[in-house]
Structure 1
Amino acid sequence: MAGLFSVYTGVFNGIDRMILDYKFRYLQQEDPNNKIVLVSIDEKSLSYFNSNGMYWPWPREFYQIVTDYFQESGSELIVYDILFDTPDFDRRNLSGTMSDQRFLQSLQRSGKGILAFKSTENENSAVDLSTTNEPLIKHYNIKNSPPYQEPHLLTSKPLDEFTKAATGLGNTVMSPDEDGLIRSVHLFDSLAHMGFVPTLSMAAYLELQPDSISLEWTNNGLRVGNKEIPLQDNGDYLINWYEKGGVQDGTFPYYSFQAIVKSAIQKQRNPDAEVLVPPSVFEDKIVIIGASAAGLGDIKSTPMSSLEAFPGMEIQATLLNNLIGNNFITQPPIWITLFMLLLISICIPYAVAYSRPAKGAAAMIGIILAIIGIGLALFVVGRIWFSTGLYLMVATFTYSGSAAYKYFAEEKQKKEIRSAFGQYVQPEFVEQLIAQPDLLKLGGQKKRLTVLFSDIAGFTTISEKKEPEELVAFLNEYLGAMTDIIFEHSGTVDKYIGDAVMAFWGAPIGQDNHAELACRSTLKMMQKVKELAPQDTNIHSRFGIATGEMIVGNIGSYNRFNYTVLGDTVNLAARLEAANKTFGSSTMIAEQTYEEVKDLFYGRQLDLLVVKGKTKPVRVYELMGEKSDPHTEEIEKIISIYQKGLDFYLNREWDQAIKRFQKVLSLKPGDGPSENYIKRCQKYKKEPPAKDWDGVFYLKTK
């Protein structure tokens, strides 16, 4: 939208023009035609004639002398960028009328003189000569009207006799842009609603064409015969500048007016004389005569003015040279501009949205360099004006807007991540999630994780003995301590359910050792519970741990969701936590968890268990301690004796099994699993299991 707005409002035209100015100055083009010669009324000429008693304005006889000299030299056209709008005046020993007559005769003899007039769009013009404009209107074969119709009023025109003698007449009006620089001109203007008159250089160009040639304005510009002259949307012709102006190393050769006069007089006296400016200089050339002296007020501001002063006649020469050599500035069609803006509007937001800031900035710099490079290449190769400024500004605004949007979106996302995970994972994890939000996919994904459930055994007893305020304080202290331990071991707290805690490892940040971290965290939590337990109670926590595939992700409604885990493995861990009550154990872990940690932790098999709602048995173990801890000989001894008792139990040797379990109780009084198996053995002694009994225990409760 911003691109379309800028195209149709021209809001960035000033920047585009400024960039184009720099291209003209630093990517100069030599004159490809070598067709035009400039004769300058310069400071040297003014000084020379002043020293001979001839002050400005000079007698018209001077112009007669140079006109005859150009005619005799074989010039193709003689263009005067000078206003001959008042009769010459008498001087000492020199009649003004006679001087005008001599210049008139030279114009008539040459038949190739182009004279200048001047108009203005200002309707308050002091001179309204609309009724006498007919002699200025040359009836070119114009098939339609220009797209611009602002009427001009005449402010200055040649004397009537000069107008009739001239081969063509052209307007010298030039309107600068807002910054005061002349960059373009109207090739034709409407003169007091009576017809269309060309600018001075266009008049000269048309005199070089056949009389039958037609002119027609089209959507692309002005067609002169078979030539299409490109125009801008407002009907202006954009001038294609060559090298810097002026006498020294400029685009066109300059000759001083006084040097021409002296050369002409010398040739009149002696046709064989060698002169400063020989006639051959003007052979087959278009000669433009104008003022370059600063005091004569015809110095114009152009894009090239910073390099050298630019007389008005050189602007006319540049324009005429463009027309002669088809040296036009062209612009890509509007659909290319719109396509480029669309491309910028898509590519930059995409680069910003799907890359890190450094890469987004690098992409932006690359796009800017590409725009500049394309603009320079097109200008150098084909003088094509690629809207560099428009694209650069739209790219800059698009990047700024996209970056700002992404920044605020990311800040919002960071806030949401902190809000969603700050209570459940350690701060380091939160910052990592903020740095890599792609780790949090919407919805769920299947991953292999380890999940833990825990609650307080005997919590009902505590509840009955404490006041509500004391109970809440204890619960907050307990849950805070459990959470701290989980965070210390890089776990994620899923939820609290009363005194129960659910946590998991391996997400949202991936961890290869998630089973190990869960087990180590559990042992620390068991120790912490002993420290927190009131002295008048005999409470402890029960833990269930399972490892396997589960669904993890943001699960819930659009308005309210939770980052959690789902699946059979999660349900198994919950069942194992509850099964501790049946076995008299504190920590029950599934076989997959045990297989991953058995080299690091001690564990003893509790049973081959089928939890409620399932049919497939799961081998479960009790977590006993870390193998890296000192003084683990007693644990190893207990596990060894306990395992022998379990083997006797599975072989139906009830008495031998009871004997081993009792020995465990002597080493570890109150050992719940040993007491549980002694009760089973005593029951099976009285009521032996079926012959196909395979040792599987079916848990009847959740």
Structure 2
Amino acid sequence: MAGERARLRRVLFLVVGLALTGAVLGAYAGGVLRQLEDDAVDARFAVRGAQPAPRNVAVVEVDDVTFDELDEQWPFPRSMHGRVIDRISADGPSAIAYDVQFTEPTEESEDNALIDAVARAGNVILAASEVDPRGGTNVFGGGSVLSDVGARAGNTTLPPDQGGVLRRLPFATDGLTSFAVAAAEVAQGRPVLERSFPAEGALIDYRGGAGTLRSVSFSDVHDGKVPRGFFRDKLVVVGASAATLQDNHPTPMARDELMGGPEIEANAAWTVLTGLPLRDVPGWLDVALIVLMGMACPLLGLRLRPGWLIAAAVGLGALYVLAAQLAFGEGLIVVFTYPLVALALGAVGALGMHYMTAAFERQRTREIFSRFVPEKVVEEVLDRADGLRLGGERRECTVMFTDLRGFTTFSEKNDPDRVIEVLNRYLAEMSDAIMDQGGTLTAYLGDGIMALFGAPIPEEDHADRALAAARDMVGPRLERFNEWLLAEGFPEEFRMGVGLNTGPVMVGNVGSEKRLEYTALGDTCNTSSRLESMTKGSGHSVFLAEATRDALVRPHEAVLVYVDELAVRGRENAVKVWSLGVPGQAPLDGDAAPLDASAARERHRELDPTL
């Protein structure tokens, strides 16, 4: 019987794994997660980060500086373009890719000036986006003009993915070789093989975000301000990057930071010049990876307990992400989203099978044991120590106690609904101050609050966080609360007291299995509570023990005022007490009486940043 149950369990795990993996393969075949897959490629670009700017590519940008310096409106006179081509050509570039369309005639002298400059250069590629059925263009009026001047045209159309992101470069569009491919062919002096391009286009290997490639302003080239030799042996792309000319697009490197069209074309041309360094792995390998990841958890689930299975799934996922990034660094793009989805579904399916078979086993155990022992004993046999346990640990923390002065009198004079509304407003304001500093609210004590800093999550700067919360509470938060009271028609203006103490405490869940609370116990808590009580009538809103002051680890804007060495009920030794204040100013609780005669001996002292 045991062998049959084990075989049935293996079959169930395998069936679940195969069914879920098959579903993911179907999604892969249908391209259901194409957008997520593209996003994963973008993420790998982001992780890789900007690469060194290539030395064989440069960009000339018609940017905002160009418009400011040339004081011309777009489109510029074609003689200006001719002059820029002459200046670039004189420096000996490998090719000049001019990403500006010249399909409509202008003044004859201007057109001839540009055509003559293109002819003198002999290595110019001109942009086109409208192509006739035979792959011809209307650049320079069409016909044989381009070939007569030794130039050629390239299609600047790049297929956008969802969101307008430009990721891939086709070999040709509408029968005309892509602009970047044509530029690379002229620059290297040999044709690029169409069969080297994937059917969906080659992934552009962007060197970084906008501004990564070496670039100069169009106006600097026009005016002869570019150092001699800057363009030598480089493929130079000229085009518009000014935002007003609307040739800026999102790229895998940064969707929010648009990249100018000429820099995109320059990245694409560099990709072709370097032999298309990023390539998708064969489809069969993608399928194998999906199957491997999809079946991993169902197979591991036959051996591992649920907790270890989850850890194994997370580990496998992390390893796959790392492997995909390393492969990307070597120029290989492996399928990313589908294997991880298959892994997650396989893990969920395996866990589901674990719990289902465990439930069956539990029921079977119940049926067997109930024949021999009482039901109560059966439950004890079945129940494990997996539930919520009582327990505690010792931690070094800063404990805060607060109290709202005069609230009891206020509550006696007002309707219960209004009292609760005011109390909730106050508690919400102060709770936010505590939680903004990473504190833990352990209890509401009427209009008082008990909070911990440094537990349950240890924090090295727990004292700093507590002090920052206290300053926020007695300062901006209390002022905002009092302003709200005035706007609601209450004449009262509340003050509050805060006590802080730092030291070892016992923290943990206390109560019963039906109701538990996370709290802290110990002398540190008692002293904090006493300090809060002692602020009443002292002229101060905050008392902190010297232990809290000594535990501060970073500089504060606060000025600490030494109050005195005070006797605290419940402690044998007196406690050195500090408060918040500013030298030369009255205490925060200005209408209160001094603590005692020793208050005259207060020593103002700014917080030492080295503590």
Flag whether TM exceeds 0.5 (same fold). yes
* Counterpart Cα distance in 2 of 1:84 and 1:166: 16
* Counterpart Cα distance in 2 of 1:426 and 1:158: 98
* Counterpart Cα distance in 1 of 2:135 and 2:43: 42
Q: Structure 1, residues 118-140: CA drift from partner, whole Å, max 9, x if none?
A: 048xxxxxxxx44xx5654xxxx
Q: Structure 1, residues 43-62: CA drift from partner, whole Å, max 9, x if none?
A: 11112222xxx322110000
Give yes or no for the alignment of 1:75 onto 2:93. yes
Aligned twin of 1:58: 76
Query: Which one of 28, 33, 44 corresponds to residue 12 of structure 1?
Result: 33
Give yes or no for the alignment of 1:384 onto 2:332. yes
Counterpart contact for 1:330–1:385, Cα < 8 Å: yes
Question: For residue 160 of structure 2, what is the amino acid of its counterpart?
Answer: P
* Counterpart Cα distance in 2 of 1:399 and 1:99: 69
Counterpart contact for 1:70–1:279, Cα < 8 Å: no
Question: What is the number of equivalent residue pairs in this alignment?
Answer: 361
Aligned twin of 1:562: none
Bigger Rg, structure 1 or 2: 1
Q: Structure 1, residues 559-591: CA drift from partner, whole Å, max 9, x if none?
A: xxxxxxxxxxxxxxxxxxxxxxxxxxxxxxxxx
State the SS of the aligned residue for 1:314: helix
- Where does structure 2 lack aligned partners over 5 or more consecutive residues? 1-21, 386-611
Aligned twin of 2:146: 163
Aligned twin of 2:3: none
Counterpart contact for 1:332–1:385, Cα < 8 Å: yes
Q: Structure 1, residues 153-212: CA drift from partner, whole Å, max 9, x if none?
A: xxx7443375343522100112211232111131112x3xxxx3211000112224556x
Aligned twin of 2:249: 300
Please list, as runs of the form range in 1=range in 2, the aligned pairs for 1:28-39 lying within 5 A after superposition.
Answer: 28-31=49-52, 33-39=54-60
Give yes or no for the alignment of 1:361 onto 2:310. yes
Question: For residue 180 of structure 1, what is the amino acid of its counterpart?
Answer: G
* Counterpart Cα distance in 2 of 1:70 and 1:258: 12
Aligned twin of 2:204: 239
Using a 3 Å threshold, how does the CA distance of structure 1 residues 345 and 430 change in structure 2: closer, same or farther?
farther
Question: For residue 253 of structure 1, what is the amino acid of its counterpart?
Answer: R
172-181 or 283-292: which moved more?
Answer: 172-181
Aligned twin of 1:2: 23
Using a 3 Å threshold, how does the CA distance of structure 1 residues 135 and 16 change in structure 2: closer, same or farther?
closer
* Counterpart Cα distance in 1 of 2:221 and 2:189: 31
Counterpart contact for 1:112–1:167, Cα < 8 Å: yes
Counterpart contact for 2:63–2:217, Cα < 8 Å: yes
Normalised by the size of structure 2, how large is the TM-score? 0.55
Using a 3 Å threshold, how does the CA distance of structure 1 residues 14 and 78 change in structure 2: closer, same or farther?
same
Question: For residue 228 of structure 2, what is the amino acid of its counterpart?
Answer: P
Please list, as runs of the form range in 1=range in 2, the aligned pairs for 1:363-512 lying within 5 A after superposition.
Answer: 363-380=312-329, 382-427=330-375, 428-429=377-378, 432=381
2-11 or 70-79: which moved more?
Answer: 2-11
Aligned twin of 1:47: 68
Normalised by the size of structure 1, how large is the TM-score? 0.48
Query: Which one of 163, 185, 188 corresponds to residue 206 of structure 1?
Result: 185
* Counterpart Cα distance in 1 of 2:235 and 2:312: 52
Identity %: 23
Using a 3 Å threshold, how does the CA distance of structure 1 residues 363 and 55 change in structure 2: closer, same or farther?
same
Q: Structure 1, residues 633-691: CA drift from partner, whole Å, max 9, x if none?
A: xxxxxxxxxxxxxxxxxxxxxxxxxxxxxxxxxxxxxxxxxxxxxxxxxxxxxxxxxxx
* Counterpart Cα distance in 1 of 2:81 and 2:155: 20
* Counterpart Cα distance in 2 of 1:300 and 1:262: 28
Q: Which has the higher contact order (CA 8 A, sep 6+)?
A: 2
Using a 3 Å threshold, how does the CA distance of structure 1 residues 85 and 281 change in structure 2: closer, same or farther?
same
Q: Structure 1, residues 507-531: CA drift from partner, whole Å, max 9, x if none?
A: xxxxxxxxxxxxxxxxxxxxxxxxx
Question: For residue 284 of structure 2, what is the amino acid of its counterpart?
Answer: W
* Counterpart Cα distance in 2 of 1:199 and 1:47: 32
* Counterpart Cα distance in 2 of 1:289 and 1:257: 8
State the SS of the aligned residue for 1:163: helix
Counterpart contact for 1:41–1:257, Cα < 8 Å: yes
Counterpart contact for 2:46–2:253, Cα < 8 Å: yes
How far does residue 296 in structure 1 lie from its aligned partner after superposition? Answer: 0.3
Aligned CA-pair RMSD? 2.5
Q: Structure 1, residues 97-124: CA drift from partner, whole Å, max 9, x if none?
A: 101111111111111110011048xxxx
Using a 3 Å threshold, how does the CA distance of structure 1 residues 216 and 277 change in structure 2: closer, same or farther?
closer
State the SS of the aligned residue for 1:174: coil
Using a 3 Å threshold, how does the CA distance of structure 1 residues 425 and 74 change in structure 2: closer, same or farther?
same
Please list, as runs of the form range in 1=range in 2, the aligned pairs for 1:647-662 lying within 5 A after superposition.
Answer: none
Aligned twin of 1:110: 121
State the SS of the aligned residue for 1:309: strand
Please list, as runs of the form range in 1=range in 2, the aligned pairs for 1:219-368 lying within 5 A after superposition.
Answer: 222=196, 229=197, 231=198, 234-246=199-211, 250=212, 252-263=213-224, 276-306=225-255, 308-368=257-317
* Counterpart Cα distance in 2 of 1:346 and 1:99: 68
* Counterpart Cα distance in 2 of 1:135 and 1:374: 45
* Counterpart Cα distance in 2 of 1:245 and 1:356: 49
Counterpart contact for 2:97–2:183, Cα < 8 Å: yes
* Counterpart Cα distance in 2 of 1:205 and 1:372: 34
How far does residue 74 in structure 1 lie from its aligned partner after superposition? Answer: 1.0
Aligned twin of 1:101: 112
Counterpart contact for 1:42–1:292, Cα < 8 Å: yes
State the SS of the aligned residue for 2:90: helix
Question: For residue 169 of structure 1, what is the amino acid of its counterpart?
Answer: A
Give yes or no for the alignment of 1:21 onto 2:5. no
Counterpart contact for 2:168–2:203, Cα < 8 Å: yes
Using a 3 Å threshold, how does the CA distance of structure 1 residues 347 and 36 change in structure 2: closer, same or farther?
same
Counterpart contact for 2:181–2:192, Cα < 8 Å: no
State the SS of the aligned residue for 1:337: helix
State the SS of the aligned residue for 1:255: strand
* Counterpart Cα distance in 1 of 2:188 and 2:221: 28
* Counterpart Cα distance in 2 of 1:68 and 1:105: 10
* Counterpart Cα distance in 2 of 1:61 and 1:258: 13
- Where does structure 1 lack aligned partners over 5 or more consecutive residues? 89-95, 121-128, 137-155, 223-228, 264-275, 437-702
Give yes or no for the alignment of 1:87 onto 2:66. no
* Counterpart Cα distance in 1 of 2:158 and 2:200: 14
How far does residue 70 in structure 1 lie from its aligned partner after superposition? Answer: 1.2
